[in-house]
Amino acid sequence: MAGSPEATEEEAAAAPGRELPADGAARGGKRAAPSRPGALQPAKLSRAELYKPPTSEELSQLKETEDLFHSSLLRLQIEELLKEVTLKETKKKKIDAFLHEINSLLSAIPETPETELTDQAWLPKGVKVPFLQVPFSVKGRFRFVPPTELKVVGSYLLGTCIKPEINVDVAVTMPQEIFQDKDNLNQRYHRKRALYLAHIAQHFSKEKLFGSVKFAYMNSNHLKPILLLRPHGKDEKVVTVRVHACPALGLFKPSRFYPNKNNVRTAWFMEQSTPKEGGTEPPTPHYNNSILCDTVMLSHLQFLSSAATDFPGMKDGLALLKVWLNQRQLSKGLGCFSGFLVSMLVAYLLMKRKIVKMMSGYQVLRSTLQFLATTDLSVTGISLAKDVDASLPVLDDFHQAFEVVFVDPSGLVNLCADMTASKYHQLQFEAKHSMEILDDRMVDGFQALLMTPKPMLRTFDHVFHLKHVSKLQGACKKMQLLNELMDRGGNYVAAALPFVVSLLTRGLAGRALLVAHSLPQIPEWPIDVEPPKHKDVGPLTFGLLFVPEFAASTLEKGPQADHPEALDFRTFWGEKSELRRFQDGSICEAVVWEADNICQKRLIPEQIVRHLLKLHADIPEASICYMGALLESVIRTGQEVSGTGEEAMVSVVCSYDDLSRKLWNLKELPLTVTAVQGVHPALRYTDVFPPIPMKPIYSFHTRIRTKNLLLPSEEKPCPAYISPLKIVCHMEGSGQWPQDKDAIKRIKAAFHLQLAELLEQQHQLVCRPAVTHTDVYKDGYVFRLQVAYHREPLILKEVVTPEGMLKYQDTEESRQLELETLHLPYLTSSLHGLQQQHPVFGSTCRLVKRWISAQLLSDNISEECVDLLVAFLFLHSAPFTPPSSPQVGFLRFLDLLATFDWKNNPLIVNLNAGLTDADCTEIKNKFVAARSRLPVMFIATPKDQWSSMWTQEKPSAQILQRLLVLASESLRALEEQLMDPLNSQDVKMVFRPPLDFYDVLIHLNPNQIPRHLESVDRPLKSFSRGVVKNSTAMKILFPVVDYDPVQCYLQELRDAFSDLALFFYDKHGGEVIAVLWKPLSFQPQPFKVSNMKGRMVTTLNNELVCVPNVEAILEDFEVLGEGLVKSVEARAEKWTI
């Protein structure tokens, strides 16, 4: 782990000091005695010691490793991680010294005279009260008296503090004499607390001891400001001391703060002069809870420390759980599942004997996740209170007041008061999923659970932002949430959020597994600035995780019209709901969503979200920024909004199925067709732009009458590109097949002629036979049939040795043939099956290939290799769920490319679950042993475990490196854009390659680029390409197939200049060919006739040498591409000879 390349930003945060511990722990759990720091000494053991039986401790460790961890590797990884995140002793000493100095400074702060609470003139200009005082007028008097004591509370004393952010919580006890009667009412206590902290802050800001003195809200709760102190100088990053103010013991009577009691008066909050007659005041549970939290801080610490004594596993387990929560973004913000909550949960499990003090950290992690996965605290709460005191509130009282219930040992405080049910369900879902991962032997659980960050964009299928949070004020009005607003001190975000989320959860029930929201977070602020307002939480983000089968259904079926629930259904959906008659004769309420194609169907959740928020929460559409499918525009087909081509794919596959049936049933063939297998990417749904049925317009072509053929015309633009869809026809074996390779080729050619003839006779299809294949024009598509004979590869392998012996060895020709007739059809059918399981697999592949092509690298990595990489995301998605939208698949692909350790690991794609655990281990071991001889990107599949055939030739190490850089940059840029709803999004940015690092750019003439319309930025006007979209015609002249002038030109350039330069091009309508000189070719070479290609002679140190003749080469570029090349732009400042 210490050097893993997967160190993304969050991990680097989770494990900052990536150095081995100084005392050099010996790897077996026993520490070697350090002689000089950092050096490992070999231990001198006598023979008796060396062979002595293992101690009971060692035996139990071995037993535990065997039972619990899949491998001893997981155990070692966890030990390493714990070393990385725990605090070193030297740091602890510094922190202790800092705390002592704070304590002595506190007692020296002077008192202030008593004033009215609203008269705050005594506070100097340099400090603002860290509290939103709305409404401002409030009764009560305040004076400052130095605190009676300062106590450290929280994880620091327990030793469960983990890096990267070391926070030490200290509680300052405010003396009894500054409080009066009725301070529990109308925020008086909270305002006194804020003034108390403001006075301390003002004094501390003058001290040299502190590097910074700031305010923050505790867990972003506006009622609870705290003071942040950091040491000055280079230690500023070491620690943050968080100062909490709490009341003297016994100040308040606990019974005043039961969840059903009221402590905020409506008349005061609404600034009315007289209270309404006879009105009952609503309960204020969150307000009450916030005061109670302060009174039980110290008792919580004592409770936790008694749980942690003699329990070393608790410390490790908590560290692991905190890392797990951090990676899932669950541990910060309003209503988070904080480290403190997890500690209390572990203590609860200890109390209930679900955990015992013998357990190791890993067992604590497992037991806690198991408990979270199986217990829904939003339905059945839990309580730490031991003896049930009849006067205390019961769990049901808490359930009425809060969404999630976890009561502390005093029986008064709900520790999960701010958490929404949705957030808890997300936590529960993650815990379930994590348990599955830990029990799955095929997954590296450590990497998936503790080392992989799960930002919302890569976790959820669709993400949308509520960009103006202030719109939630209107939502509170519309939903009549005045009581909640009073309870939350006016915080409309916290008040409306649970209601908005449950609204969406109901509307998307059946479509979404999870509807999650980001946690509102408010950053810290300097003490001389007004405290942040409620709207300063910035945009709120929501994530939807879909049930793939139902996410895109167009119908929402409701109850029958005469049932009492029908009214409720109508009120919920508003005017969208209408009565419909169904096939079974029932008449029901139903909502039907408009969507013409698959791409729009995937966005039905967006229609639902926008409709419900407008209807029930008055949130205008303009405030919702839906980021579900912004990237799909780059694989849109055609001018008009015709979706992203899934339908076109299906029609190609239907046409192919029909053709294969016709081939099987052909009469009069000497041998029958045993199998028909498609190998073109369109037949596995991964072709970037699916073929469109076309018919040529004759006037755009020159005709060759004798052969019924069309040729491209010189005067007109180049005809549209028609891609031949390649199909392999396997013929049955027979003793009549010859055993000579040349003879087999002739027989195959005869079959090609005969297939063409029979298809024309029996099915009236237009065919054009050739020696190596037959082209068939059907339904507007061109299929290219290639006959295969199963023994041919074997015959190609025959070699006769000089002694006349016959032996078999792989030749280039046999390998190529096997690839085309065996491996490619198998891959195509496997991926076709994957598409049936995961409907967005094809679109994800297409998005990924479009990106690779846009980066001009499509010639440097095979399509099959890309398809396998994407298949990996669907088959091995841990710690995520398989993607259900192309966009999230694309983001995860970029992440996989950028973070996978290509140098030390094979990428194992387990197609059709054809590999066992043992196979994977064997592949890994063989890979490590033979690393230097294997391709830089090694992909293993069940049918290709050792050779990685799709990455043999390409990508090269340099291209792979370039891809990794591009992927991590694109991912960074995209995530930044998609998480920032306030700026206008041009997500095509990552599809526009930087051209400044190439040496020469060859600009092309658009009317000779047949796929010009496929470019990322669609041209406004385009040329008529001489075809009409029509697929019914029977008798036609055969169109021009597979003709792309740019590809022909590129081939010529590569043949002529491959030793001098590399050529890059975006085959989907790129207007530029980018050229990179090879550095070695620019070194002067000795003058020989054989060295003269593309070079000229000069003298260097009185010797004749040849150097590349750049001017002549650039001229050749133009000459070779006459009519196609518009201009050649040389960037001379970049290279010199």
Print the SS3 string covering 550-619.
CCCCCEEEEEECCCCHHHHHHHHHHHHEEEEECCCCCEEEEEECCCCCHHHHCCHHHHHHHHHHHHHHCC
Rounded CA separation 653/829 (Å): 12
How confident is the model at residue 7, as a pLDDT? 38
Note the pLDDT of residue 728. 93
Annotate 983-1006 with DSSP letters as a single string. SPP-GGGGGS---TT-SEEEEE-G
Contact partners, residue 959, CB within 8 Å, separation at least 6: 857, 860, 861
pLDDT for the residue 888? 94
Compute the CA torsion angle 1057, 1058, 1063, 1066 (nearest 10 deg).
Answer: 110
Write down the pTM of the prediction.
0.89
The reported pLDDT for the residue numbered 752 is: 92
- Position 705: which residue type? R
User: In angstroms, rounded to a whole number, what is the distance separating the alpha carbons of residues 1037 and 1028?
Assistant: 14
| Alpha carbons 531 and 303: distance in angstroms, whole number | 34
DSSP label of 684: G
Helices (H) and strands (E) in the chain, counts: 35, 37
Tokens of 370: 């198991």
Question: Across the strands, what pairs with 996?
Answer: none
Query: What integer pLDDT is reported at residue 980 of this predicted model?
Result: 86
713's torsion region: left (phi>0), alpha (psi -120 to 50) or beta? beta
Q: Which has the closest alpha carbon to 286: 15, 515, 74, 483?
A: 483
Name the β-bridge partners of 162.
86
Q: From 1074, 1072, 1075, 1070, select the one nearest 1016 (Cα to Cα).
A: 1070
Per-10-residue mean pLDDT of the chain, 1137 residues long, equals: 40 39 38 45 70 76 63 78 83 86 86 86 87 85 86 83 83 88 87 91 87 90 91 81 90 88 88 73 91 90 89 89 92 90 93 90 92 93 83 88 92 92 94 92 84 92 91 89 89 92 93 92 90 89 91 87 88 90 89 88 92 92 88 73 78 92 88 90 90 78 69 77 91 86 90 91 88 89 91 83 82 86 91 92 93 92 94 92 93 94 92 89 91 92 88 89 94 90 81 88 88 79 64 67 90 89 90 89 72 70 77 87 88 58
**What's the token pair of residue 1050?**
């590129």
